[in-house]
Structure 1
Amino acid sequence: MTEPPSARRLLDTGFGDDDGTASQAVSDALTAYDADPDGLHRETLAVLQDARLLVPVVAVLGEVELGEDGLARDKTSDMATVLMRGPGGRTALLAFTSMAALQAWRPDARPVPVSVTAAAEAARVDGADTLLVDVAGPVRFVVQDEDLQALAEGYRLADLAGRLAWTKVVDPG
C-alpha cells in the first residue's frame, strides 16, 4: 500500500513506546542529587546521560495582520525550542525528564523526545551554554561548561577505577 502524496512522515526519535514518565533510575538519581547537589552532580549526570529528555517546542508568533474590524490576527506562527537567559547572562536550553515536569512549567508546550546527547547538541547549536533540566522542578539540574561540551560531542561518563571520567569509543576504521 502506498501513502497518498500529501501524507507526512514523522521522524522516529527512537522513543515510540514512551509514556512520558521519567525512568525510576532518573527519578532516584535526582532525588539523591537534591539532598547533596555538590557531592552528587557527576553521579547524577552519569545516570541522566542514558535518559530520554523532553525538549519543549512552543508556538512563536510570526506575522500579524489586521482584519477589517481593526483587530489583529495571527497570520503565521512557527514552532521553536525554548531558551532561557539567567541573571548571570548564561543561556539555557530547557529540557524535562517527564511530561508532568514539562506541564508544570508550561502546559501548552509540545514535547519532543530526544537523547541527552541530542539535547546537548541542540543547546550548542542554538548558542546556549547550559542545558537546564526540569526548571519547574521537582528537582532542577544544570549541565554546562565541559560537561555540556562532552555530551554534545558524544562522550560518556564511565567508572574508571572508582572515578567517573569522560570517555569516548573511537572507531579505528
Structure 2
Amino acid sequence: MKTLGEVNAAWAGDRGEPDADVRAALAASGAGDPEAYLSAVAALCGARLLLPIVASGDESGDGPDPDRHAEMSAVLMTSASGASGVLAFTGLDALRAFDPMARPVPCTLDDVAATAVETGAEAIVIDVAGPHLLTIEGELIRPLATGNRLMKLSDGWGWLSVASS
C-alpha cells in the first residue's frame, strides 16, 4: 500500500500552477473527439497532478474526532449510477474551486491510477470543478497504474512501457 502525502523532491518549489499545455489539451478534449481525448490523457501522463487529501469522518459519520489525530484519505466521488472515481487536479486553482480545505498532494497520473485500482474506483476524474473536466475510465486505468505512458504513434496510439528496475 502506498503512503499518500510523502514529499517528492521532483516538485520542490512547486506552487501549484497548472501546466498551460495540459490545460489546453483538456480544453480541446471537451468537443467529444476521441483523438483529442487520447491527446489529453497522453498530456496528463507527463504532468504533475494534485491529489486532494481530506480528513476522514469517524464511524458515526460526524467528522473527525477532535480527541485524536485525523485520518487522511484520497477523495472519491460517486456518480448517480453508483460508479466511483478518484479525483485529481491540474492546478491548485482547480482543487480550491472544488474544496478549499483539501490538502494538495503532488503526484503523477500513475499514482492516481494506482489509487483508483487500490480503491476499486472505476474512473479518474480530472478537474471536476473545472476549468475542463476529463474522465479516464475502463481499460486505460490499469496500464496507467503500472507506470505506462500513452503515446501518439505514426499509425495510432500505443503504450510506452516503463520497465521497473
Relative to the length of structure 2, the TM-score reads: 0.84
1:75 to 61, 67, 75: 67
Matches within 5 A, 1:82-161: 82-161=75-154
Matched, 1:20 2:13: no
Deviation sequence 1:94-141 (CA, Å, 0-9, x none): 110000000000100000000111111111112212111111111111
Count of residue pairs the alignment pairs up:
155
Could you say which residue in structure 1 is the equivalent of 2:6?
Answer: 11
Q: Distance in 1 between matches of 2:162 and 2:97?
A: 37
Aligned amino acid, residue 67 of structure 2: K
Contact 1:63 1:74 in 2 (8 A): no
2:51 to 52, 55, 74: 55
Q: Distance in 1 between matches of 2:30 and 2:13?
A: 29
Q: Distance in 1 between matches of 2:128 and 2:152?
A: 28
Give unmatched runs, 5+ long, in structure 2: none
Aligned amino acid, residue 7 of structure 2: D
Aligned amino acid, residue 83 of structure 2: R
The alignment partner of 2:90 has SS state of: coil
After superposition, the Cα gap between the structure-2 partners of 1:39 and 1:159, relative to the gap in structure 1 and judged at 3 Å, is closer
Contact 2:23 2:132 in 1 (8 A): no
The alignment partner of 1:35 has SS state of: coil
Higher-RCO chain (CA-CA 8 Å, sequence separation at least 6):
2
Aligned amino acid, residue 57 of structure 1: I
Over the aligned positions, Cα root-mean-square deviation in angstroms equals 2.1
The alignment partner of 1:138 has SS state of: coil
The structure with more helix, counted as a fraction of residues: 2
The structure with more strand, counted as a fraction of residues: 1
Give unmatched runs, 5+ long, in structure 1: 1-9, 65-72
